Amino acid sequence: MARAVERIPAKLAKRAKQIQVLLMDVDGTLTNGEVTLLSQADGTALEIKTFDAHDGQGLTIARTAGLRTGCITGRESPALLRRAREMHMEFIYQKQPTKIPAYEEILKNAGVPESAVAYVGDDLPDLPVMQRVGLAVAVGDAVAEVKRAAHYVTRAHAGKGAIREVVELILKSKRIWEEMIDKARA
Amino acid sequence: MARAVERIPAKLAKRAKQIQVLLMDVDGTLTNGEVTLLSQADGTALEIKTFDAHDGQGLTIARTAGLRTGCITGRESPALLRRAREMHMEFIYQKQPTKIPAYEEILKNAGVPESAVAYVGDDLPDLPVMQRVGLAVAVGDAVAEVKRAAHYVTRAHAGKGAIREVVELILKSKRIWEEMIDKARA
Amino acid sequence: MARAVERIPAKLAKRAKQIQVLLMDVDGTLTNGEVTLLSQADGTALEIKTFDAHDGQGLTIARTAGLRTGCITGRESPALLRRAREMHMEFIYQKQPTKIPAYEEILKNAGVPESAVAYVGDDLPDLPVMQRVGLAVAVGDAVAEVKRAAHYVTRAHAGKGAIREVVELILKSKRIWEEMIDKARA
Amino acid sequence: MARAVERIPAKLAKRAKQIQVLLMDVDGTLTNGEVTLLSQADGTALEIKTFDAHDGQGLTIARTAGLRTGCITGRESPALLRRAREMHMEFIYQKQPTKIPAYEEILKNAGVPESAVAYVGDDLPDLPVMQRVGLAVAVGDAVAEVKRAAHYVTRAHAGKGAIREVVELILKSKRIWEEMIDKARA
């Protein structure tokens, strides 16, 4: 479930308030980590992905607040594409065997310094990007190595409000969360 | 899991016993908050929604007891439509970017005062309706802002008996729960 | 998860060892209680049901041990039909608005007294049958009224080993569990 | 969620460091134990299986480390086939009513002694193989009989990092985990 961000340490707030671009991994970060496959009569299988309603609302709030959002993933699916578009993601990189090339392309296109980028991940392939961005976040059920590399570990698990919690962390650090709440309820 | 409503504070019972119309949000309230998408071979994706058997039974009991039920949601899907019809919902409003217009139309059609309406929600877009109805309920895993705005927070989480718990709260406040149990088992 | 049945009170064992027919509800008893619907492009929705691998293995063991098994449900779906057949269920009653007629037909066809029948349920429509059988079982996440009507409440939740636990309870009471384990591993 | 393997008892490490082939059951071991069926309009039902992203990453790491992997299951589905191929499994045996014949064929093809094989399982049909291999592992939510027969019981449940934990156990025992982490993040 989504967990409210209560107090933000000064050092963390300093990192978070500089963020202009919020990037994330997909499986196990934006989804709940389940890789679900539907067997077809013709011998193939279709992929099912499970996202979280609170995360979606959070990414909508992020966009209203002017944050630019995106994802970098090794897999590829119409499910992700539909969900990413529903949440108005600007940067969508699929089929990336490693994540640095996409990350550097986003940096260039967005025209922001690395200190203005946050990245949320859960597993080993996320480490290279996490070691470069201004705010590295691990979801609550990330593997141990990723948690150790993060500036912040969410209390929520992946696909259960982790992304919402990151949005709240950033917007509260920028002191614009309350204003966004008012807009969201309008 | 569904949780029995044990004791109802007098102030809450006073609100609950006036309810004639029970409205609710869908994703994260009537469903478990998962947004699940099935990738298709043609590049599109189909939506899967997960409801709860105990909630369904609860809404059937609600209808037997004379409560009128309905939902207001920003999304649209055949899955919701089928489930809402299975549960004999009277008011079904999909694709509502904001919820007040649908709410006011329901008020007018039902011909009841706001004090006779209960609304169950989980996230920011639910706040405007919650601030007007006689009984505002937040599901157990609602975001903090919604819990603060509620007259009652369910012990059960969304899609795991939260709606059943609200039905029980209302019918116990009206002192007709036992009678409904007898009818349901008949 | 499946939970081992440790000690069986004498009174419960006396009921359990007489069981020859094991009947059960489906949604919220043999499944995990989720009612999942897949939206189709043509505006209809298909139903998805989630069963448990340990329950399936348990029902296979039950059959090897000579127990006859069956289900009575208000809904109807090819998913249940396929699963029931995989588990070699003998009595499959779908689309039953109330459960007593099917129950009485099974009694007649099986030619056993009510004391030889166990029934597992989770919600109000299960109560009439539970009040007649020799062994009435509620799953761990059944509603309060059903738990109160049961001779035994499983420690496992529905769709997470509850049925396996009932099979183990019956076969341990008959003192043939160990023998069945040996057969199952062979 | 995936759990880091902290300390490995010397006796367990001795078994684990000899492993060259990692075999496993599928339902309730590589998947979360849910047997999910999608009803079709023509009266048939399609099977859905849910795997874990962290397990997948773990099996990729295992392969990079030179471990050979495989599965033996009683069921058959395109979903498993696709997932097993994505994870580059070498040995895929479906529709096996009992597991010993497939196990012995793998032993012969791999050309390794039984002490070099690990097997992960969750239920009774897994016992015969578990009693022969060098390292028998039960997932955290295995049935009691399987846990008792195991050299190691994972802290993680099936479909929630259990296989990742076994890979980590083996590679840490071989003292090559850190090296693999470095490769995985590269």
| pLDDT digit string, tens, across residues A19-73 | 999 999 999 999 999 999 999 999 999 999 999 999 999 999 999 999 999 999 9
pLDDT digits (tens, 9 = 90+) for D106-143: 999 999 999 999 999 999 999 999 999 999 999 999 99
- The token pair at D185 is 């993040």
Neighbours, chain B (3 or more CB pairs < 8 A)? A, C
Q: How far is CA A68 from CA A65, A82, A106, A112, A119, in A?
A: 9, 18, 11, 11, 12
Taking any CB pair shorter than 8 Å as contact, residues of chain A touching chain D are: 27-28, 31, 33-41, 43-45, 48, 98, 122-125, 127-128, 140-141, 143-145, 157
Asked whether residue A82 carries a pLDDT value surpassing 90, the answer given is: yes
> What's the pLDDT at A6?
73
Q: What is the mean pLDDT of chain B?
A: 95
Give me the sheet containing A21-24, strands edge to edge: A91-93, A68-72, A21-24, A117-121, A135-138, A152-153
Yes or no, beta carbons of C78 and D157 under 8 Å apart: no
Do B36 and A48 lie within an 8 Å CB cutoff?
Answer: yes
- Mean of pLDDT values over C123-145: 97
Band (pLDDT 50/70/90 cuts) for residue B17 is very high
Interface of A with B (CB under 8 A): 1-2, 4, 32, 38, 44, 46-54, 56-57, 61, 77-79, 81-83, 159, 164, 181, 184-186
Domain A18-185: give its CATH superfamily.
HAD superfamily/HAD-like (3.40.50.1000)
What mean pLDDT comes out for the span D144-160?
97
pLDDT higher than 70, residue B186: no
Closest approach of chain D CAs to the CA of C25, in angstroms?
17
Average pLDDT, chain D: 95
Please say if the pLDDT value at position A9 is more than 90.
Answer: yes
In the prediction, which pLDDT does D181 show?
87
Backbone angles phi, psi at B44, to 5 degrees: -95, 180
φ/ψ of residue C110, rounded to 5: -80, -25
Region B40-50 average pLDDT? 96
Average pLDDT over residues B89-107: 97
Question: What pLDDT does B184 receive?
Answer: 77
Phi, psi (deg, nearest 5) at residue D88: 55, 40
The CA distances from residue B56 to A159, B86, B167, C75, in Å, are 25, 8, 11, 12
Mean pLDDT across C5-15: 92
> Residue C1: pLDDT above 70?
no
pLDDT band (50, 70, 90) for residue D182 = confident
When the pLDDT of each residue in chain C is averaged and rounded to a whole number, the result is 95
Element (H or E) spanning D39, and its range? Answer: strand D34-39
**Chain C residues closer than 8 Å to D145 by CB:** 181
Chain-centroid distance, C-alpha B118: 8
pLDDT at B175 over 70: yes
> pLDDT band at residue D21, thresholds of 50, 70 and 90?
very high
From chain A, pick out residues whose CB is under 8 angstroms from the CB of D179: none
Q: Which positions ≥6 away from B77 have C-beta within 8 Å?
A: B47, B49, B94, C39, C45
pTM above 0.90, yes or no: yes
Cα distance from B26 to chain C (closest Cα, Å)?
Answer: 14
Distance from CA of A181 to the nearest CA of D (A): 32
- Cβ contacts of D37 on chain C, cutoff 8 Å: 48-49, 51, 78-79, 82-83
What's the confidence (pLDDT) of residue B1?
58
Pick the CATH number of B14-185 from 3.40.50.150, 2.60.40.10, 3.40.50.1000, 3.40.109.10: 3.40.50.1000
Q: Which DSSP string do the residues of C127-176 spell out, in sequence order?
A: HHHHTTSSEEEE-TT--HHHHHT-SEE-SSPTTTTHHHHHHHHHHHHTT-
Reported as a single tens digit per residue, the pLDDT across B126-168 is 999 999 999 999 999 999 999 999 999 999 999 999 999 999 9
Q: Which of C21, C43, C122, C30 is nearest to C83 (CA)?
A: C30
| Angle between helical axes of A177-185 and A162-173 (0-180°, round to 10) | 120
Q: What is the dihedral of CA D44, D46, D47, D51, to 10 degrees?
A: -170
- What is the predicted pLDDT for the residue at A127? 97
Say which of A36, A44, A141 has its CB closest to residue D50.
Answer: A36
Q: Which CATH class is domain C10-185?
A: alpha beta
> For residue C184, what pLDDT is reported?
77
Residue D14 has pLDDT above 80, yes or no: yes
What are the residue boundaries of the structural domains of chain A, listed by start?
A: 18-185
